[in-house]
Each structure stands twice: as C-alpha cells, then as structure tokens.
Structure 1
Amino acid sequence: MTLFVSLKEAIAANVFDGDVVALEGFTHLIPYAAGHEIIRQQRQDLTLIRMTPDLIYDQLIGMGCVKKMIFSWGGNPGVGSLRRFRDAYEKSWPHKLEIEEHSHAAMANAYEAGAAGLPCAVFRGYLGAGLAEVNPNIRFIECPFTGERLASVPSIRPDVTIIHAQKANRKGDVLIEGIVGVQKEAVLAAKRAIVTVEEIVDNFDDVHPNACVLPNWTLKAVVQVPGGAHPSYAKGYYERDNAFYKAWDPIASEREGFQAWMQENVLNQGPEVFASRVAFTQAQK
C-alpha cells in the first residue's frame, strides 16, 4: 500500500544501515532531496547503485554513508571528477570504498532482469573489453541454442529504490515525463520504492506520449518535495542548474570545505530548501 508521508518518515521507514540502495535518474529527475535526507539520518554501510552517479553520490560518499558503489560511469557531468568519490577510493577518506564497475548496457540489462525476477542478465557485451579482468561479476556463458558466447552479470535487486518524478495522483500512481532512463525497472526490481514528486494532483492531464506511469502498488511511499531534483532538472518545472555543477568542483576539492558546505546546506536544512533554491535559480535566468 502506498503511503503519502513526509520525506523524513519515508527514509526512516524504508532505508536502513547496510541496505542496497538505488537512487536513479539519468541527467533528469535525480532524487537529490531524498539523498540529503539519507545523509541527515546518518545511514551507514550502504551499497549504492546507479548507472551514472554524480554529485549526490559524491555527497553520500563524502559523508561516510557508503561502503560500496556499483555503477557504470561516475563523474560531475561536463565538469570532471567526483572529488569525494576519488578521495574515498584512493585514500580511504572518510573510510575505504569498494567499487564494482560495469558498462551501461550491463547495468540496464541487470535492472531489467531484476524487474523480471531473474537471477542474472544475459546480453551481447564486453567483447574485447577489459572490465571482466577486474570485475568477477562479469562472466561469459555459451548460448544453449546457438553456441554464441554471451556476457552475464547478476541482476540488480535493491533493498530500496528512490526516484523523483513530476506528479502523483491521489491514489498514489506516479507520472514520469521526459528522459525516463531505468527508473521504471529500478522500482520494479526493488523490495521497496520511494518516489518524491513535484506535486500531487487529482488527474494526469495532457500526458506526453513518452511518459511512464508507475501504479501505486509498486511503491511504498510517495512524498511531495517541490524542487526535489535540484540541481538536476525536472521537465516542465525547472531547468538544470549548470552553475551549481560547476561550483561543486571547488566545494568538494578539499575535505574541510566540503564538510563546511554540507553542514550549512544539508545537515542544517530540510526539504523545503529545494523549492527556494529552484526559485532563486529560475529568477537568475
């Protein structure tokens, strides 16, 4: 049964120490507000999964929430490296970080296999690539019908998936418009799913033909958090805050500066800050 709750309640009831957590979003609708609430609640020993971890994973890693990351690309889009990610992996600060790296194709197939309840994904991939030499979870099998050599990886089945979307209706169904990425598969693959949304409405009107609707029975919690994807963008609501992505590199480059920024802007703030940041960003355009 889907519950309409506060963000604090949703994270407290569904994200626990040691969980495998996917916060998905592909350039668009990235669940920053939910990630910040995980930090405020000081969750520990998380295994984070995402195809393209960016700033919110940098923040979770730097605040000591993460023991392992499973991913297919990591960076500050259009800017460079994730400074806290690199510091954790290379210098074990704030503690040692394990990584498991895959290709985009492998991650997408692994999510789909998880959504289907399968133990692994089988696909054409990794031919001539070196990742299999450093990742024991990349294996090869022979097709029993054709004899073709195929790649295989474990399916992704998170304890909890968290995404952001544009709208939920009063029944708890959720509408995603624009770039969907693997959000649908990530939700269906998870034991529990939380969705933060820009607004709750009576009906979904004028829906784009490329939209996705997640029925309420796939979700544990729906939370209204206007601006909850900032600094990424939400189609129809606000644009990507490119200035913030550029500003993040110097903020994250030094440990002390990073900690001071997180204290002021995350630990001392709540979800309402996202709506005010979006309003400020849009006013500057």
Structure 2
Amino acid sequence: MAEVVALGEAVASAVHDGDTVALEGFTHLIPVAAGQEIIRQGRRDLTLVRMTPDIVYDQLIGAGCARKLVFSWGGNPGVGSLHRFRDAVENAWPVPLELEEHSHAGMANRYVAGASGLPFAVLRGYAGTDLPTVTGTITHITCPFTSERLAAVPALNPDVAVIHAQRADRAGNVQMWGLVGVQKEAVLASARSIVTVEEVVDELSPVPGELVLPSWAVTYVAEVPGGAHPSYAQGYSDRDNAYYQEWDAISRDRDTFEAWIGREVRV
C-alpha cells in the first residue's frame, strides 16, 4: 500500500545508485521536480528509461547521474537538441553515456510486457530501419501460427517508476486525466514507484476520462504542487513555453549549465 511522504523521503527510500529509473509523462505531467530531487540527492550510475527524454533528462545527464539512456526520442520539444545529452554522447562529459534506442511502439510494448509479467513483447515494427543492427534488444521471431516475421523486444522492468499526477487521496490512490502516456504501464512494470501529485485530498471526485492507480500498485505518494513544471498538469497549470526556450541557451555551455544547476537545483 502506498505511503504518503515528503518527496525527499520518497527519493531517498526508492532510488539507489545503479538503479534503472523510468520518469514517464508525455508532454504532460512530466515529473520534473522528482527528477531534480534525484539530482539533489546525488544519485549516480543510473540507467534512465523514458520514451521521450526531454529537459529533465538533460538535467539528470548533465548532473552526472546517468550511465545509460534507454529511449525512443530525445529533444527539447519545440526548440531543438538536448545539449547536455549531446555533450555526454559526443564528449563523455561529465561521464560517458551508453545508448539503447527503440521506436515509440517498441518502448510502449516493452512496458506492457513488463506490466503483464511477460518476458518480451511482439510487434510489427522496425521494418526498414537499421535500429536492429545497433540495438541488441531488438530481434525477430517467426509467428508459429502464420509464419509472419515479427519484431521482438524484451520486457522493461525498472527498479523505480516516477510519474506526476493531479491528485491522490490519503490512502495513496492516484488519479490523473488528460493526455497520458505509459505511466500506468511503467508503474505496474516497476519494483517500486514514486508518484508526485498536485494535491492530496480526502476523496477523489470522478473526472471524465480519468485513470486511477490503486494504492496497492504505488509505493510512495508525495504532494508537490507544480511538480510537473515547466510541463503542464491539466486543470492545474499551463505549459511554460519560455522555460523550454531559455533552456536551450542554458544547456549549450557547460559553465552556464553548472551555474544554473547549482543555483536552481542543488540548493
């Protein structure tokens, strides 16, 4: 059953050096505050997993938290490159970064397999691409019923899933709505989970199209208003487009980045 705790306590208990950590959220409800708490606590040697690593992963990589990235697209959405990500890949700064690249469909199916307790997922994908030649976790199998050639990818089972949502009740049941990605699958696939929420309430009022994660599926809930900023939380906050634009200049230069992270995160 979920425990409602402070964010610092949740990260200290759930995230350890060397863990595989998935911070999920698709343009919406991105767990930025939790990612920055991981930086503050100085975690190292992490395998970071995310379908669409954006600026919070740029910050984690630039802060030296990551040794490997498992992903399907990376960039500063609407702006351009992730410069700390690029520096790690091209120049091994601050530490070398290993890459494991998939398609969106491959990543989503890997989470589903992990959440379902299956060893791998099968999909029609990767045809016409060279990803299977550079990614060791993509192979092909022959369907035993139709003889069709299909792609196979191993299940994702992170040590920790981290997501942001709108609300939780005091028992740790989590409610989210709006644009969601693979948050449910990531939580169910992981050994432990942290959910930051805009507010903890006595009772969850129904919302059209809501997704509810029951308390038994969640390890920790932390009340963190604005915990998705600069992404948005439908019903609570808007996307801070200026932040994404400003990040491009901040992240281009190592000294500027280090000054920013020291001033804004490691405090």
The Cα offsets for residues 217-267 of structure 1, whole Å up to 9 and x where unpaired, read as: 011100000000000000000100000000000000000000000000001
Partner of 2:232: 233
Cα distance in structure 1, aligned partners of 2:130 and 2:101 = 11
Amino acid at match of 2:28: H
Aligned to 2:144: 144
Quote the residue 1:273 is aligned against: none
SS at match of 1:267: coil
Determine the structure 2 residue equivalent to 1:257.
Answer: 256
* Residue identity in the other structure for 2:31: P
Alignment partners' CA distance in 2, 1:62 and 1:205:
40
Q: Secondary structure at the match of 1:200?
A: strand
**What SS class does the counterpart of residue 186 from structure 2 fall into?**
helix
1:134 aligns with 2:134: yes
Contact 2:3 2:171 in 1 (8 A): no
Which residue is equivalent to 1:177? 177
Instruction: Give distance in 2, aligned partners of 1:136 and 1:8.
Output: 36
Please list every run of at least 4 consecutive aligned residues from structure 1 whose deviation after the TM superposition is greater than 6 angstroms.
none
Residues 12-63 of structure 1, C-alpha deviation per residue, up to 9 Å, x if partnerless? 0000000000000000000011001100000000000000000000000000
Aligned-partner residue type, residue 263 of structure 1: G
C-alpha distance in 1 between matches for 2:56 and 2:220:
21
Letter of the 1:249 counterpart: D
Instruction: State the Cα distance separating 1:206 from its structure 2 match.
Output: 4.1
Partner residue of 1:187?
Answer: 187
Q: Write the deviation string for residues 64-114 of structure 1: whole angstroms up to 9, x where unpaired.
A: 000000000000000000000000000000011000000000000000000
Is the 8 Å Cα contact of residues 164 and 227 (structure 2) preserved in structure 1? yes
- Structure 2 distance, partners of 1:180, 1:68, is 25
Note if 1:108 corresponds to 2:108. yes
For 1:161 and 1:245, the matched residues in 2 are separated by: 24
SS at match of 1:67: strand
Q: 2:168–2:197: 8 Å Cα contact kept in structure 1? A: yes
Q: 1:163: which partner in 2? A: 163
Distance 1:184 1:151 in 2: 24
Aligned match of 1:42: 42
Whichever residue aligns with residue 242 of structure 1, its letter is N
Q: TM-score, normalised by structure 1?
A: 0.93
> Cα distance, 1:2 vs. partner?
1.1
Q: Give the Cα separation in 2 of the matches to 1:4 and 1:204.
A: 15
Following the alignment from structure 2 to structure 1, what is the Cα–Cα distance between the partners of residues 220 and 81? 33
Per-residue deviation at 1:180? Answer: 1.3
- How many pairs were matched up? 267
Matched letter for residue 190 of structure 2: A
Give the share of equivalent positions with the same residue, in percent: 63
Secondary structure in 2 aligned to 1:99? Answer: strand
Q: Is the 8 A contact 2:4 2:170 kept in 1?
A: no
Residue 129 of structure 1 deviates from its aligned partner by: 1.1
Q: Deviations over 1:133-156 (max 9, x none)?
A: 111111000000110000001111
Q: Distance in 2 between matches of 1:135 and 1:197?
A: 35
Between the aligned partners of 2:38 and 2:204, the Cα distance in structure 1 is: 30
The 5-angstrom pairing of residues 1-285 of structure 1 reads: 1-208=1-208, 210-268=209-267
CA RMSD of aligned residues (A): 0.6
Q: Following TM superposition, by how much is the alpha carbon of 1:170 offset from its aligned partner in structure 2, in angstroms?
A: 1.6
Instruction: Compute the displacement of 1:128 (Å).
Output: 1.1
